[in-house]
Amino acid sequence: MRISLARIRLELAHTFRIARSADQYRESVIVRLEDGGLDGLGEAAPSPRYGQSAESAERALASLDAAALEPAEQIEDVLGRAAALLKGEKAALAAVDMALHDLLGKRLGSPLYAVLGLDPGKTPVTSYTIGIDAPEIIADKIAEAEDFPVLKVKMGLDNDREIMETVRRLTDRRVRIDANEGWTREEALEKALWLETQNVELIEQPLPAADLEGARWLAARTSIPIFADESVHVASDIPRLAGIYRGINIKLMKCGGIHEALRMIHAARERGMEIMLGCMIESSIGITAAAQLSPLVDYADLDGNILIGNDPASGVKAREGKLALPDGPGLGVTIVESRLSKSLKRARA
């Protein structure tokens, strides 16, 4: 087994502004595992919301001994060892998990979705995210999203109503709202009641993650389904959310990868909850890994690769919004040689 790393800067087409931050770029760490003449790719796209960074992910991954990842085909055991060594760096663990699953599919000569027994024709439509911005910039973003039938609109600041009025002046497409913990209970109720008139499909994480009683209170007072994002990380979080949130947003970077995401899907279904697959700002490596599971879920918000201008890889596509999985073995991802291959060759092994 050989491990290579490359830390890359993903340049955003627009400043990505949400309730708690604004970014012009994000950093990821790409992982390549080479084993038995095959190579598996993974990506760590950490979020500062969870106390992680590209620097911390890279440091954790650089500390891994390749022997700890062998034999690569025993994924559950390997991930258990990796999780202990990575010490809570979930995005780093997700990168290892993706690379191991990529290797598995390549070893079997099949796309990962086929290995998992999933039908690629059952992928959902992904939303296109409209970050918080001035009306004229929002108008530009909506124009760029013309091929997407569903928009995800970020809220959580003082201009929420202006944002939604701008959206509705330009399009009647379905909208999902994401407040990123930005509202108080009273704000959330006032805005939810108004949004009931605006063809809104769901509201994601309107209140701070720890305020479960507030989420229960709000859900009882609005007809719009309320989904958890920052409130849910791994499968063990789900039992306490059942009966409060209608659904959950699963992100590989939060939970630690495909293996844990599958556990979360089963746990949520057992409790009658709906499921969204989401993402951070990621390249096509991370987005394609998540998309392999999309036939199992109700909603997708897998557009992180669409929002950047220097994607170092090619994989899943969105055709009129519907996710189209690649048919190559494993994740089916190919790297853009000029943007990534040399970096990986130079990286620590």
Closest residue by Cα to residue 214 from 176, 184, 255, 194: 184
Per-residue pLDDT, averaged over 303-315, amounts to 96
Domains, the chain, with CATH or none: 2-109+337-346 (3.30.390.10), 115-334 (3.20.20.120)
Residue with the two structure tokens 């003082």: 158
Per-residue pLDDT, averaged over 103-121, amounts to 98
pLDDT higher than threshold 90 for residue 342? no
The percent of residues in the chain predicted with pLDDT above 90, rounded, is: 92
> HSE on the CB side for 319, CA within 13 Å?
7
pLDDT score recorded for residue 145? 96
Per-residue pLDDT, averaged over 303-320, amounts to 97
Summarize pLDDT for 20-38 with one digit per residue, the tens. Answer: 888 899 999 999 999 999 9
pLDDT score recorded for residue 279? 98
Per-residue pLDDT, averaged over 98-126, amounts to 98
pLDDT higher than threshold 60 for residue 348? no
Beta-bridge partner residues of 299: 276
pLDDT higher than threshold 70 for residue 347? no
pLDDT score recorded for residue 21? 82
Query: Mean of the per-residue pLDDT values for the chain?
Result: 95
Closest residue by Cα to residue 280 from 140, 162, 180, 210: 180
Contact predicate 38/46, CB 8 Å: no
Distance, in Å, from the CA atom of 59 to the CA atom of 63, rounded to the nearest integer, reads: 6
pLDDT higher than threshold 50 for residue 349? no
pLDDT higher than threshold 90 for residue 217? yes
Strand 2-18 to strand 21-35: parallel, antiparallel, or no bridges (unpaired)?
antiparallel
Per-residue pLDDT, averaged over 101-108, amounts to 98
Band (pLDDT 50/70/90 cuts) for residue 341 is low
pLDDT score recorded for residue 19? 80
pLDDT score recorded for residue 41? 98
pTM (2 decimals)?
0.95
Distance, in Å, from the CA atom of 42 to the CA atom of 280, rounded to the nearest integer, reads: 14
Distance, in Å, from the CA atom of 31 to the CA atom of 107, rounded to the nearest integer, reads: 18
pLDDT higher than threshold 70 for residue 346? no
